[in-house]
Amino acid sequence: MDRIAVLGAGAWGTALAHIAAENGKRVTLWAREPEVVADINEKRRNTLFLPDVELNGSIAATNDQAAALADAQAVLLVIPAQHLRASCQTLRSVWKQGLPAVLCAKGIEEKTGSLLSEILAQELPQARVAVLSGPTFAEEAALGKPTALTLACADETLGKELVKTLGTKTFRPYYSADVTGVQIGGAVKNVMAIAAGIVAGRRLGDNARAALITRGLAEIARFAVALGGQAQTFMGLSGLGDLVLTANSTQSRNFTVGLELGKGRSLSDILGEKRTVAEGVFTARAVLERAAAAGVEMPICEGLSRIMNGQSSVDDIVASLFTRPFKSEN
């Protein structure tokens, strides 16, 4: 596969376009914002979302989705989870039968609780679906710093072809067949990252953060297995790897939201200052509703949701978690 379309020119979409172009692929990058298209084509920069990376000169930016897809052999969908359904409905008429769609955003649709692959199955059934997820900060990956992640696809032949297409000397995808588990790892770790940020902002200590990450991973795995995911996925890059990265760095949008919540600020004030999306805010409620339907208990997600909604204080949630009945770890 030599011709790649990337839909979504935020930091991650721009980084993926740059990595593919640096690897000799012919890349078309679709951006919603006309100023981003002009910036990339004229200055080889995405000043709005990835300002510190000089982009490969062969990237062609456009705000015409049909033109971006015209001769693509694979499409990287880097559209925020809450906007994916509407985008797929727009794309349906121009999407060729069998054209691979690689989901590169992380999240669960708030209104329906749908995984992103489920949205594609409903709205873009002619696409062959894969998922790219793992511990990645866009700028580091774009600058060529060593990055490893997971590419999941039910079709092993297609999945391994995409691994070869996207992989470089510094950007290393590993193949997995667990499309459900990889998506859930990427989506729900955003929720746990907000909780980890609260721990840091409230200065509850490193012991508490380690406990939060470990028990949070257990919650994510329980939820995924109930939906058909594989438990072993969560010992890999799209599970443990992604959670460790996102729950420990101020480069993470979700962690920084939690950090400010832990300092006592309101969620509405925090989000009002941000241009980019912290998907964990939207994912939390969807996760809880779907987990309840599956009979899965998720006390950390539930506690975080109550904090974000202003129903409980951080101190009250910490106390409630630590006064739950004692139980076996596994």
Structure-token match 């696809």, residue found: 153
Q: Given 25, 43, 169, 189, which residue is catalytic?
A: 189
Helix (H/G/I), strand (E/B), else coil: 176: strand
Q: How many residues does the chain have?
A: 330
Structure-token match 């746990």, residue found: 192
Check residue 238 and give left, alpha or beta (phi > 0: left; psi -120 to 50: alpha).
alpha
Nearest to 94 by CA among 162, 174, 164, 5: 5
Write out the H or E segment, with its range, that includes residue 128.
strand 128-133
Nearest to 128 by CA among 101, 160, 88, 162: 101
Judge whether 104 and 135 are in contact, CB under 8 Å: no
Judge whether 102 and 130 are in contact, CB under 8 Å: yes
Any catalytic annotation for residue 160?
A: no
Catalytic residue numbers, as ranges: 189
